[in-house]
Structure 1
Amino acid sequence: MQANAAAEESARIAAESEAAVTQSAFEAQIIAITAEAVALAGTAQSEEASLSNATATGEAVMQQTVAAERAVEQNRVTSTAVAATATANFENAVATATQGARASATATNSGSSGTTQPTVTPDQAALSLDAQLKAFVREEDNMPMLFISGGPFLMGASGELSNLDEQPPHEVIVPSFYLDKFEVSIQQYADFLNRQGGNRGMCAGFDCVKTQVDTAMGEPAQQFWLFEPRPGSGSFPITWVSWYGADAYCHSIGRRLPTETEWEYAAKGLDGRLYPWGNTPPVPNENAMFGYQLRDFQRGFKPVDALPAGVSPFGIFGMAGGAAEWVSDWYQADYYNTQSTSSLPNDNNASGENSVRGGSWLDPATELRVSNRGHLPPAVQTVDDTVYAGVGFRCAQDANN
């Protein structure tokens, strides 16, 4: 009997402790929500001192949370920069050896002209090395930009996996250019909205973004003075962004969206691969994020610098799955039938839609092929605007700029 009584007493104490912990957690959640509600509504001070204290505490908690998130983000950026410096130092040493090898592999054919003729065609490894050696970090938003060496490549696809708008394959000559190593993040886009003072500004009178830049104080459409990503999401790629919002961001920092040709070249490289990493099918959470449902939003994204197994031949992250990406071109289903070798963007706006490349976290594996072409209206105004839930972007610039 004494043993039973002791056991019952222990169970009672444990239950009370668990209830106390649960109650504390619930109260903390309410305090945070109260602070958010007060910030949104702009209400006056509470008549009751207890509610005022709770609100002040909640605001402090929210400010600490945002500050902590920014500190984590800054530490991540700093760590990435340190690692990039170490990598660059190593690659400089490799480059010296590589350049020596290239020089010895080049034959001198003087003939009547007396000029030097290379006998070795640049391979993908050499171009990948150049991409890293000539890279720089953009001052405006701390984005690394990689150098993409230009040249001819086979754009489009044929075969049973390809769609009609990917056919026929045709050679295109691409000038050298720079491309963002990562997709633009939620934090970077929130900073852009704060710089322009709202969710329209430079976006041709349309909303720049739908709801992805969720703030600690409410939805973007409800405020125009401060945009903050929710804690933990700042390093994820921005999505729900309109073409106008993507274009405005790039132009605000003196860059532009990549052309459809540039995008495919950076993702495909010289060997005509199916996916940025090669010809093997994508593996979830290893080299791409794909195949999720809208309800899986919390699991469908990773930071923009995640999944190194999925990088393109030039070292570009996130070109398959996660966030699909706007390019500068207007979409035209039969555009490849022109067999044009120009890399200029298509300016025929008859379709009323812009091209989207790369596939998203909501798409099946077949949509992640580097030659696959998506398309959407440039403004987020459709009845089913959830189609924009997986659309983001990155920026480019001319090599001589």
Structure 2
Amino acid sequence: MKIFISYASQDRAQVEPIRYALEEQGHEVFFDRDDLPVGESFTTRIRSAIERCDLFVCCITPDTVDAGSYTLNELDIARRVFPRPSGRVLPVVLRKVPFDQIPAWLKSVTLLETPGNVTAAVADAVHQIARKRKLQRMKRIGIGSAVVLIAAVALYNVAPPTTDDATADTGNAQPENTLNLGPQIPIEAGQFIFGDDVNTPRRNLYVSPFLIDQHEVTTSLYAAFMEATGSDPAPDEWEQFDPASHGELPVIGVSWNEANAFCKWAGKRLPTEAEWEKAARGSDQRLYPWGDDEPTPEHATFERTADYAYEGGVTAVGSHPMGQTPEGVQDLAGNVSEWVSDWYSDSFDRDDTRNPQGPAEGSGKVIRGSGWQDPAEELLAVKRYHANQSTRQTDLGFRCAMDQPQ
């Protein structure tokens, strides 16, 4: 694995043995900020190194959380790159820190604290993480027959490729297939307020009419895609997937590239960020997809704890009709957060107010919505995150959209 170790410079002597132990296990470890290649800004190079890592190890001491420490910058970058830290972040307590001084994002995962040899404890924890990932990859080999069975049913509704459909305005390639993904919900054209000046700057945007899938893409549909295209590797936690009981669960653990490929294969595309928020928030600036009422278990799947997404985490798509939008789009809050098409940016072009597509390039793709592990306050329709397009998370999926025929 590629591992980034974040630590305060005062703790270098204590952290260095951890670095050597992990390198002896065969991991590629980023340790010395001074070793960064020249040519880019320091922060950009740090961000790039964090985005490329498989595991972010944060060594916690009073110096780590001290105002002015550069580790706070690294933590902020990691929080943006891995908004869902479970399985991606390993916080290690080297010296006692008052619990209320530890950033909330780090406290959302279990802190590694040991009275024994901390180097050995970290090495063992990382070994277990790497072993689990290796086992997951190996177990995926055994899913072939189940995937074929599901694909045979799902592909019954696949029509042959068409040649007379116009390419979408978003620049997507001509679709390879037209797959029946279930109901699509029409969203009318019009202006709406995007953002709230807290999560994003408020803007008055116009969005043309479009169609968005009522439900998130399910495991059974994604299995059909894998069988038809030979897509590899399988999503994260695919070894936990039971076709008999999990077919209506939303697929998780797919990268932006894989989600984008699925939508194109299905003759559709990922929604833009503006389209997603228009569908979730409407023109009435409601707080949640269903309105302004506080979230309850009848509205969405959230605040769940489970070892695996498919075993006690996500729920079947469409399980919360009380949480649907007035138009009927379901699960835009809770269950899984969703990739959208845009590159991420903190700022926006003031003149780009009609069907905005986002910046031409960036360091990560936008994620909208919230997942099964998130607290109620994260279910707001304006919440947004971002991650490298190769990122996979156990509460991250997607749905498709398309232009509405004129």
Q: Give the TM-score normalised by the residue count of structure 2.
A: 0.55
Deviations 1:144-200 (A, max 9, x none): 111111101111114xxx33xx12x1110110011101100000001000000131x
For residue 209 of structure 2, what is the aligned residue in structure 1? Answer: 176
CA distance in 2, matches of 1:295, 1:157: 34
Residue 403 of structure 2 is matched in structure 1 by 398
Distance 2:328 2:242 in 1: 27
Number of equivalent positions: 247
Distance in 2, matches of 1:242 and 1:70, equals 21
2:366 to 352, 355, 360: 355
Q: Does 1:186 align with 2:219?
A: yes
Report what 2:18 is aligned to: none
Deviation at 1:140, TM superposition (A): 1.4
Where is the helix percentage greater, Structure 1 or Structure 2? Answer: 1
Q: What does the per-residue CA deviation read over 1:39-93, in whole Å, with 9 as the maximum and x for residues that have no partner?
A: 9599xxxxxxxxxxxxxxxxxxx98x997x999x99xx99xxxxxxxxxxxxxxx
Shift of 1:258: 0.3
Q: Residue type of the partner of 2:259?
A: A
Q: Where in structure 1 are there 5+ consecutive unaligned residues?
A: 1-35, 43-61, 79-137, 200-206, 216-227
Match 2:190 to one of 148, 151, 163: 151
Q: Which residue of 2 aligns with 1:108?
A: none
Partner of 2:264: 251
Please tell me whether the aligned partners of residues 288 and 310 of structure 1 are also in contact (alpha carbons under 8 angstroms): yes
CA distance in 2, matches of 1:378, 1:70: 26
CA distance in 1, matches of 2:261, 2:308: 29
Shift of the alpha carbon at 1:344? 2.5
Cα pair distance change 1:211/1:275, threshold 3 Å: same
Judged with a 3 Å threshold, the aligned counterparts in structure 2 of structure 1 residues 237 and 279 are, in CA distance, closer, same or farther, namely same
> Using the alignment, how far apart are the partners of 2:188 and 2:384 within structure 1?
23
Q: Structure 2 vs 1, CA of residues 395 and 40 (structure 1 numbering), >3 Å: closer, same or farther?
A: closer
1:350-378 deviation per Cα after TM superposition (whole angstroms, max 9, x unaligned): 3x110000111122222211111111110
Among 368, 375, 384, the alignment partner of 1:373 is 384
Question: Structure 2: how far apart are the matches of 1:296 and 1:254?
Answer: 31
Aligned-pair CA distance for 1:349 = 2.3
Give the Cα–Cα distance (whole angstroms) in 2 for the partners of residues 171 and 40 of structure 1. 50
Q: Is 1:210 equivalent to 2:235 in the alignment?
A: yes
Gaps of 5+ in 2: 1-137, 158-176
Q: 2:328 aligns with which of 300, 315, 318?
A: 315
Change (3 A) 1:40 1:290: closer
Deviation at 1:229, TM superposition (A): 4.4
Cα RMSD over matched residues? 3.2
Structure showing greater radius of gyration is 1
What is the deviation of 1:269? 1.1
SS at match of 1:327: strand
Q: Compared with structure 1, are the counterparts of its residues 66 and 268 closer, same or farther at alpha carbon in structure 2 (3 Å cutoff)?
A: same
Is it true that 1:276 corresponds to 2:261 in the alignment?
no
Find the aligned partners of 2:193 and 2:345 in 1 and give their Cα distance. 19
Amino acid of the structure 1 residue aligned with 2:388: P
TM-score norm. by structure 1 comes to 0.56
Report sequence identity in percent. Answer: 33
**Runs of 4+ with deviation above 3 angstroms:** 39-42, 212-215
